[in-house]
Amino acid sequence: MRRSALAAVAAIGSASLLLSACSKADDNGGDGNKSAGANAATKGVVNASTQKGGTVTYEYSDVPDSFDPGNTYYAYMYNLSRLYARPLMTFQPGPGEEGNKLVPDLAEKAGEPSDGGKTWTYKIRSGLKYQDGTAITSKDVKYAVERSNFARDVLSLGPNYFQQFMQGGKAYKGPYKDKSPEGLKSIETPDDTTIVFKLNRPFQEFDYLVATPQTAPVPQAKDTGIDYVKSIVSSGSYKFQSYDEGKQAVLVKNENWDPKTDPLRKQYPDKIVVKLKVNAETIDQDVQAGDAIDLGGTGVQAATQAKVVNDAKLKANTDNTYGGRLVYMAINNQVAPFDKVECRKAVEYAVDKVSVQTAEGGPIRGDIATTVLPPDITGYAKADVYATTGNKGDAAKAKEQLKACGKTTISTNISARSDRPQEIDAATAIIASLKKVGINASLKQYPSGKYFTDYAGVPTFDKKQNIGLHMMQWGADWNSGYGFLQQILHGDAIGASGNTNLSYLNDKQINEMLEKAIATEDDTTRNGLYGQIDKRAMDLAALVPLTYFKVLLYRPSGYTNLVSTSAFSGQYDYLNIGTTKK
Amino acid sequence: MISYILRRTFAAVILLLVVTAVTFAIFFLLPRLAGQTADQLAQQYIGKSPTKADIAAVKQNLGLDEPLYAQYWHFIKGIVAGATYNLGPTTAHCDAPCFGYSFKTHEAVWPQLTSRIPVTFSLAAGAAVLWLVSGVVIGVISALKPRSFFDRTFMGVALAGVSLPMFFTGSLAILLFTYQWPIFGRTYVPFTENPAQWANTLFPAWCSLALLYSAIYARLTRSGMLETMNEDFIRTARAKGLRERNVVTRHGLRAALTPIITVFGMDLGLLLGGAVITETVFSLPGIGQYAVQGITDNDLPPILGVTLLAALFVVIANLLVDLLYAAADPRVRLS
Amino acid sequence: MTELSKTGAALGEPAPGNAPDAFLAVRDLKVHFPTDDGLVKSVDGLSFQVEKGKTLCIVGESGSGKSVTSLAIMGLHRLGARGKNVQMSGEIWLDGKELVSADPDEVRRLRGREMAMIFQDPLSAMHPYYTIGNQIVEAYRVHHDVSKKVARKRAVEMLDRVGIPEPDKRVDGYPHEFSGGMRQRAMIAMALVNNPELLIADEPTTALDVTVQAQILDLIRDLQKEFGSAVVLITHDLGVVAEIADDVLVMYGGRCVERGSVDDVFERPQHPYTWGLLGSMPRIDRETSERLIPVKGQPPSLINVPSGCAFHPRCPYADIPKGDVTRTVRPELQQVGGGHYSACHLSPEDRTRIWTEEIAPKL
């Protein structure tokens, strides 16, 4: 799961409610900016402008894992880091699912597969330079992949897909320990503009992998490992002017970036300021004042939401967009009696999804879900295996399934993350629905930081504590069926702890279909397979989809080129945001 | 006197050791006793689906593979003698006092602390001046006119001040004074950069914090003054023919203030260890904010660093309070 | 209290409102404190006079109003949080100036300069945080526009005068560093630093042990001679009275029950309460294990003062006068001899008889 910033958002409840009450009278009228209307940025670019100059400010309530493109896992950092670190591929700035389209960035064009998708070749553009004027070569890309995926002792925060997919990836110890000049042999750089990746199995979505910031070039001579974050060498349109760990980063124009080498970036503002650890309420205020963008892209706080959706004028400045995430409840296949499919189906029918949606914050926070894949993920196919009237659950059908399972009542536990109030509320709503059909579930709360490593993600723990149901949210590392489904449905992913496959489903058919899909070159066939996997998982009642997660973003009036993209969980695309303010 | 300070310093060092040991135990020994393995701990600092080799590498790099007492020993040793850390391509030596590197961000803790102290100090000092002055003035006036309109009004306000949480007053202050009427700045500016801007930005935070504390100090001063003004020596002062103003300040307040110094010193010491909620509400990059981050990330070195620093401030404040008390009240002897 | 008999009326003084001849004259002083429980009549119609160079002792039990009287003269009970509510009437004349109706600030300027006061417990009466010297300097500089240095010299001088050894060193000591006697000497030095013409001493020796008591009384007497001031000394200890007084005023329930020269009061006391006090006085020259007339019972409530003679509930002779007179009629102060007054319903004959036959032999 590419982590969302959601977990870190602190609730400052009572005060914020009051704040919203106080600011009712607040009239924000006179700034002369015509509103583009609600959800405008999910349909097109809002405030499109080529105006240059000014300062764009991002604010975030927490701190990111790292600004180092090789050591981050957050969607918003994937999004932001492109300003100073150009990956081989990236996503086309565009509204909604249009943003899911991969386009070459550092590379001249998309990767050329050969050997049935086991070998991928990229040519990088010519004339590329770092901020210090030195040339960027394909060797720097190779080095960046090596340091970010293989030096796990020091750069451990990013994903490690290359370690899993490259030939010899398991044995290679990374450039810090393995000082041999050739490095990882399965990444070849026959010349300064060519890079060849040799995989241990066919992987038709490799372009998605090289769209992570991990392929952004890092000059080996300038790499200081952990300390690289303090002196990142830019390959993008902006470079670091200052970096104050945990507090603030300031980016200014990179004069050595050449627009001729870059069809995507426009370099509009003079300066980009990223402020960290800003109080969430303050961010909302600043965003509404038109002075900042919420870097995390998790949307406004509850109080602000209440304020803006009830005011037509303010609502016209919002974007209610899918966040590429599914809110669901996993049914643990290894905890009796949910090892029986009928018992699992009883749960599917019993849950009143409307009550869950309400607990999550209403339709603004998510549409009712009936599939594993959310609509903004490539491969989504509309389906509803356990359709009930008005999505309110069907006690009769549930009891029928319970009977078929040989039970009249079930006693179990449901796990949820103690620091996520909405998840607790949703679980409480589910408990109420289940009770009506004779399934008595008790709520067990665990801290989110250890949810996977110590609690729900540990199969022995779940069995011992009789936790048959797990509250869960999932967003993909890349927006394809494979990127989304593999981690939560593939049986091979199950380990002793740290599992994200909380259904503990190990279905041969699903495993095979996943492998087959990723080896399938043809997009249509591949995406069709994802629909089948989704259907199969639902037939097996592996999980109860609850809502397709949505966020409510407020468009800061002073900023230009705002477009909400599915590629980054509905966030605005940060590549070309400019400002009309001086 | 010298030997007194030496003895106190020695006791403080022991105390700080105990504090670190307890903090260490709470965050690392207890989870271990509850069944958490070093692998699970290490896994928190790895991105996703780590291999066994990844976990082993991180464990070794963070020193989590060592027995707990060795980890503790290394931490203490680092503070005294400095330590060497693996950055990847090179190693870095971190000079004493080395509070280690964050498990999560791999940033050295000590520079973080030192860069944050001025922020917390600015917050605490400004607020302290405000609350001490306003609290004492209100307390004195209330005490001189007990049960008057002023007394009842301000003691009521004081009660509200103590009861209202910073989340409320702070957020309200931000809303009113940085958005509704944008009088004050929003982003912290160091004093050395622009003193006017520094004060301007901090002012709402000072006021919010001061409201909380001045309420307490007004009540303290009021009861202290009420008691003192009934003392025999006040009658003596009046019998000398002193003006009432001088009786109140030179004789009454002088005596009533001494116990307040004690409370004030301790409050200030505690606050310097991080005004967690205020810093969070006002987005001030101080010690408290760093502590919250460390706790959220289960990140031992920052937690230990902040705890130690906070304890140090409290210990120093304690010592200063005792010295001040001795200076203020000639009846007190240090021994 | 001399020559009282010269000028008619019960009090033998000029009419109210006119300045008296005496240095200090108190006329019909009333000090009442309203409380939640009722009006406390601490002093309820008190009159007396003191000449320069003379010592008046006010005696009585605690709660009889003697301290309130002294504070009233100093104008102190009007200050502070509770001062607002005090109801005060009558006249206090000091050296021709009337103080009750005077501007508070004017009275303040007299305090410490023309009239000074010594308190019972010098430890609590001196500020614990300032040196003795500082406190004396402060007292001096309130009324004298001099430098600290000059004032300090004066302080050392005064400490020397009151018999504190090594005054130039002790001047920098704190009150808690002094012994009880030395502290009281310092207190006296502080009171006398401005050469006041009236010195009020409120139980100045009560907190001290017997030998020191005598020293302090000697000191006060010596100083009085030297400076020629009038002294009002408040005490419950008749031993002290015998030692130092020229005149004696006995208070009971906020009123004067007997007053006269020290000889009159000790040799020819005219009030049963005075007899009681004399009877309970420890005397070194007699070995009387039996206390003849201990004053039985509790001091009267100042809110509900007993009707008639306030002393009647405790008076063993209350039934001697005919009828209900002791319970219904408040006895007025009457002259019983030259400058000797008493407020008692007993006939002069009864009083003389009881004193000479019953009381005096047992003392």
- Omega within 30 of 0 (cis) for the link into B97: yes
Average pLDDT in chain B: 85
Angle between helices B2-24 and B300-328 in degrees, nearest 10: 150
Residues of chain C found within 8 Å of residue B145, distances taken between Cβ atoms:
81
Task: Say if CB C204 and CB C120 are below 8 A apart.
Answer: yes
Q: Are strands C247-252 and C255-261 parallel, antiparallel or unpaired?
A: antiparallel
Please tell me whether residue A404 adopts helix, strand or coil conformation: helix
Q: Are strands A119-123 and A194-198 parallel, antiparallel or unpaired?
A: antiparallel
Q: Which of A91-105, A441-455, B91-105 has the highest mean pLDDT?
A: A91-105
The Cα of B130 is separated from the nearest Cα of chain C by a number of Å equal to 26
Nearest to A416 by CA among A439, A372, A447, A440: A447
Q: How far is Cα of residue B3 from the mean position of the Cα atoms in its chain?
A: 28
In a domain, A500, yes or no: yes
Q: Count of residues for chain B?
A: 335
Q: How far apart are CA B167 and CA A16, in angstroms?
A: 9
A25 burial (CB, 10 Å; 0-12 / 13-18 / 19+) is exposed
Query: What is the pLDDT confidence band of residue A13, given thresholds at 50, 70 and 90?
Result: very low
Checking if the pLDDT of C293 tops 80, the result is no
- Which range of residues forms the domain containing residue A569? 5-297+555-579
Higher pLDDT, B119 or C12: B119
Of A224, A281, A500, the CB nearest to B89: A224
Query: What is the pLDDT confidence band of residue A407, given thresholds at 50, 70 and 90?
Result: very high
Task: Say if CB A116 and CB A123 are below 8 A apart.
Answer: no
Q: How far apart are CA A34 and CA B167, in angstroms?
A: 34
Q: How far apart are CA C353 and CA B230, in angstroms?
A: 48
Q: How far apart are CA C191 and CA B231, in angstroms?
A: 18
Checking if the pLDDT of C2 tops 50, the result is no
Higher pLDDT, B91 or A2: B91
Checking if the pLDDT of A4 tops 50, the result is no
Residue C33 pairs in a beta bridge with: C40
The reply to whether A98 and A244 lie within a common domain is yes
ipTM score assigned to the predicted complex: 0.86
Q: In the sheet where C198-202 sits, what is the strand order?
A: C115-118, C198-202, C230-235, C55-59, C247-252, C255-261, C340-342, C334-337
> Lowest mean pLDDT: which of A96-100, B48-52, C76-80?
B48-52
- Residues of C near B (Cβ–Cβ under 8 Å) read 74, 76, 79-81, 108-113, 116-117, 119, 121, 124-129, 131, 138-139, 142-143, 174, 176, 190-191
Quick one: three-class SS letters along chain B? CHHHHHHHHHHHHHHHHHHHHHHHHHHHHHHHHCCCCHHHHHHCCCCCCCCHHHHHHHHHHHCCCCCHHHHHHHHHHHHHHCEEEECCCCEEEECCCCCCECCCCCCEHHHHHHHHHHHHHHHHHHHHHHHHHHHHHHHHHHHHCCCCHHHHHHHHHHHHHHHCCHHHHHHHHHHHHHHHCCCCCCCCCCCCCCHHHHHHHHHHHHHHHHHHHHHHHHHHHHHHHHHHCCCHHHHHHHHCCCCHHHHHHHHHHHHHHHHHHHHHHHHHHHHHCCCHHHHHHCCCCCHHHHHHHHHHCCCHHHHHHHHHHHHHHHHHHHHHHHHHHHHHCCCCCCC
Q: How far apart are CA B14 and CA B12, in angstroms?
A: 5
Cβ contacts of B49 within 8 Å, gap of 6 or more: A159, A160, A487, A493, A495, A498, A500
Q: Do chains A and C touch (3 or more CB pairs under 8 A)?
A: no
Task: Say if CB A434 and CB A402 are below 8 A apart.
Answer: no
The reply to whether A341 and A266 lie within a common domain is no
Say which CATH number the domain at A488 has. 3.10.105.10
Comparing alpha-carbon positions, the chain B residue that sits nearest to A495 is: B49
Please tell me the predicted confidence (pLDDT) of residue A11: 33
Please tell me the predicted confidence (pLDDT) of residue C251: 94
Checking if the pLDDT of A178 tops 60, the result is yes
Whether B105 and A26 lie within 8 Å, measured CB to CB: no
The reply to whether A569 and A494 lie within a common domain is no
The reply to whether A138 and A285 lie within a common domain is yes
Query: What is the pLDDT confidence band of residue A245, given thresholds at 50, 70 and 90?
Result: confident
Between B and C, how many residue pairs show a Cβ–Cβ distance under 8 A?
80
Checking if the pLDDT of A477 tops 80, the result is yes
The chains found to touch A (3+ Cβ pairs under 8 angstroms) are B
Please tell me the predicted confidence (pLDDT) of residue A487: 87
Each residue's pLDDT tens digit, C180-215:
889 999 999 999 999 999 999 998 888 788 888 888
Whether the CB of A289 is below 8 Å from some CB of chain B: the reply is: yes
Task: Say if CB B225 and CB B252 are below 8 A apart.
Answer: yes
Q: Average of pLDDT values for C168-188?
A: 92
Please tell me whether residue A242 adopts helix, strand or coil conformation: strand
The reply to whether A466 and A493 lie within a common domain is yes
Task: Say if CB A322 and CB A566 are below 8 A apart.
Answer: yes
Q: How far is Cα of residue B224 from the mean position of the Cα atoms in its chain?
A: 25
Checking if the pLDDT of A198 tops 90, the result is yes
- Amino acid identity at A453: T
Nearest to A547 by CA among A397, A323, A278, A341: A323
Please tell me the predicted confidence (pLDDT) of residue C295: 75
- Omega within 30 of 0 (cis) for the link into B118: no
Query: What is the pLDDT confidence band of residue A466, given thresholds at 50, 70 and 90?
Result: very high
Q: How far apart are CA A426 and CA A445, in angstroms?
A: 13
Of B48, B53, B57, the CB nearest to A1: B48
Residues of chain A found within 8 Å of residue B165, distances taken between Cβ atoms:
14-15
Checking if the pLDDT of C130 tops 80, the result is yes
Task: Say if CB B311 and CB B137 are below 8 A apart.
Answer: no
The residue among A149, A150, A153 with the most chain B CBs within 10 A of its CB, best to mutate, is A153
Please tell me the predicted confidence (pLDDT) of residue B301: 86
Query: What is the pLDDT confidence band of residue C260, given thresholds at 50, 70 and 90?
Result: very high
Query: H helices within chain C, ranges in order?
Result: 66-74, 104-110, 122-125, 132-143, 148-161, 167-170, 180-192, 210-227, 238-244, 262-267, 272-279, 325-328, 348-353
Whether C127 and B331 lie within 8 Å, measured CB to CB: no
- Residues of B near C (Cβ–Cβ under 8 Å) read 143-146, 226, 229-244, 247, 250-251, 254-255, 258, 328-331
Tell me the CA end-to-end span of chain A in Å, nearest whole number: 39
Comparing alpha-carbon positions, the chain A residue that sits nearest to B60 is: A153
> Lowest mean pLDDT: which of A218-227, C15-24, C89-98, C214-223?
C15-24
- Amino acid identity at A449: G
Please tell me whether residue A561 adopts helix, strand or coil conformation: coil
Nearest to B141 by CA among B23, B44, B254, B221: B221
Whether A65 and B105 lie within 8 Å, measured CB to CB: yes
Q: How far apart are CA B204 and CA B173, in angstroms?
A: 6
Whether B167 and A498 lie within 8 Å, measured CB to CB: no
Please tell me the predicted confidence (pLDDT) of residue C285: 58
Residue A440 pairs in a beta bridge with: A411
Whether C127 and B233 lie within 8 Å, measured CB to CB: yes
Comparing alpha-carbon positions, the chain A residue that sits nearest to B47 is: A157
Residue C47 pairs in a beta bridge with: none
Please tell me the predicted confidence (pLDDT) of residue C18: 75
Q: Count of residues for chain A?
A: 582
Q: How far apart are CA B31 and CA B35, in angstroms?
A: 6
Please tell me the predicted confidence (pLDDT) of residue B30: 83
Please tell me the predicted confidence (pLDDT) of residue C234: 93
Cβ contacts of C253 within 8 Å, gap of 6 or more: C44, C64, C65, C299, C300, C302, C305, C306, C310, C311
Query: What is the pLDDT confidence band of residue A34, given thresholds at 50, 70 and 90?
Result: low
Phi and psi based region of residue A390 (left: phi greater than 0; alpha: psi -120 to 50; beta: remaining): left
Into which CATH architecture does domain B110-328 fall? Orthogonal Bundle (1.10)
Whether the CB of A488 is below 8 Å from some CB of chain B: the reply is: no
Higher pLDDT, A420 or A207: A207
The domain segmentation of chain C, as residue ranges, is 259-362
In a domain, A306, yes or no: no
Each residue's pLDDT tens digit, C230-240:
999 999 888 88
Q: Which of A538-552, B195-209, B280-294 has the highest mean pLDDT?
A: A538-552
Q: How far apart are CA A484 and CA A475, in angstroms?
A: 7
Please tell me the predicted confidence (pLDDT) of residue A8: 34
Comparing alpha-carbon positions, the chain A residue that sits nearest to B283 is: A278
The CB density around residue B30, as the number of other CB atoms within 10 Å, is: 11
Residues of chain A found within 8 Å of residue B186, distances taken between Cβ atoms:
282, 286
Nearest to C57 by CA among C184, C213, C236: C236
The reply to whether A545 and A559 lie within a common domain is no
Task: Say if CB A5 and CB A62 are below 8 A apart.
Answer: yes
Number of domains chain A contains? 2
The reply to whether A39 and A138 lie within a common domain is yes
Task: Say if CB A91 and CB A558 are below 8 A apart.
Answer: no
Each residue's pLDDT tens digit, A279-306:
888 899 899 999 899 999 888 988 888 8
Please tell me the predicted confidence (pLDDT) of residue A496: 80
Please tell me the predicted confidence (pLDDT) of residue A268: 96
Residue percentage of chain A with pLDDT more than 90: 71
Tokens of A34: 């015509």
The reply to whether A11 and A85 lie within a common domain is yes
Tokens of C206: 């009560």
Task: Say if CB C56 and CB C23 are below 8 A apart.
Answer: no
Angle between helices B300-328 and B68-81 in degrees, nearest 10: 60
Tokens of B290: 């760093």
> Lowest mean pLDDT: which of A63-72, A75-84, A86-95?
A63-72
Average pLDDT in chain A: 89
The domain segmentation of chain B, as residue ranges, is 2-108, 110-328
Q: Average of pLDDT values for C130-136?
A: 94
Tokens of C336: 């019983």
Q: Average of pLDDT values for A545-567?
A: 94
Average pLDDT in chain C: 87
Please tell me the predicted confidence (pLDDT) of residue C15: 61
Q: How far apart are CA B170 and CA B280, in angstroms?
A: 10
- Token pair 């030179």 is found at B250
Cα atoms in the 13 Å half-sphere on the side-chain side of C107: 21
